[in-house]
């Protein structure tokens, strides 16, 4: 249910790895959830490899009342890398995904994160 992390680091010698976590929520009608999820995994997230500093993503989904909520957590090397993707923190919505979403966060939330093996 999540995209594999693409962090190319030897964790054996690393005490912790500092990164930026970008969290975003989008919502679909139940009948569009599988199509949107497939698009995330097959098209949208793999396409982020073109952005320098992108390290992978996690995708979570859950049914909430009459819709399906998606939470994406993308991993980045730095805020400079995030700004190369979205200079002002706004959500970046793939053109083909927009019709599948009923609503979404206009802005993503950014966190300093640490990976501890």
For 47-65, what is each residue's pLDDT tens digit?
999 999 999 999 999 999 9
In a domain, 5, yes or no: no
Helix residue ranges, H only, 54-112: 79-85
In a domain, 56, yes or no: yes
In a domain, 12, yes or no: no
In a domain, 72, yes or no: yes
Helices then strands, counting H and E runs in the chain, come out as: 3, 5
In a domain, 6, yes or no: no
Q: Which two tokens stand for residue 17?
A: 């790895």
- CA 83, 51, 34, 113 dihedral sign is negative
Q: Any idea what DSSP says for residue 106?
A: S
**What is the CATH number for 33?**
3.30.70.100
In a domain, 3, yes or no: no
Query: pLDDT band at 1, cuts 50/70/90?
Result: very low
Coil, strand or helix: which one is 13?
helix
In a domain, 98, yes or no: yes
* Count: domains in the chain: 1
pLDDT above 90 (res 3): no
Range of the domain at 51: 17-115
Say which residue the tokens 């019709």 belong to.
99
Q: Which two tokens stand for residue 4?
A: 């594999």
pLDDT above 80 (res 8): no
């Amino acid at each position: 249910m999540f995209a594999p992390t693409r962090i190319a680091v030897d964790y054996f010698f690393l005490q912790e790895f500092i990164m930026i976590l970008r969290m975003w929520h989008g919502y679909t009608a139940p009948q569009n959830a599988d199509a949107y999820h497939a698009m995330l995994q097959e098209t949208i997230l793999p396409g982020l490899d073109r952005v320098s500093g992108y390290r992978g993503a996690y995708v979570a989904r859950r049914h909430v009342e009459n819709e399906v909520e998606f939470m994406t957590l993308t991993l980045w090397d730095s805020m400079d890398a995030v700004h190369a993707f979205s200079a002002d923190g706004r959500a970046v919505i793939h053109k083909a995904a927009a019709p599948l979403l009923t609503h979404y966060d206009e802005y993503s939330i950014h966190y300093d994160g640490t990976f501890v093996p």
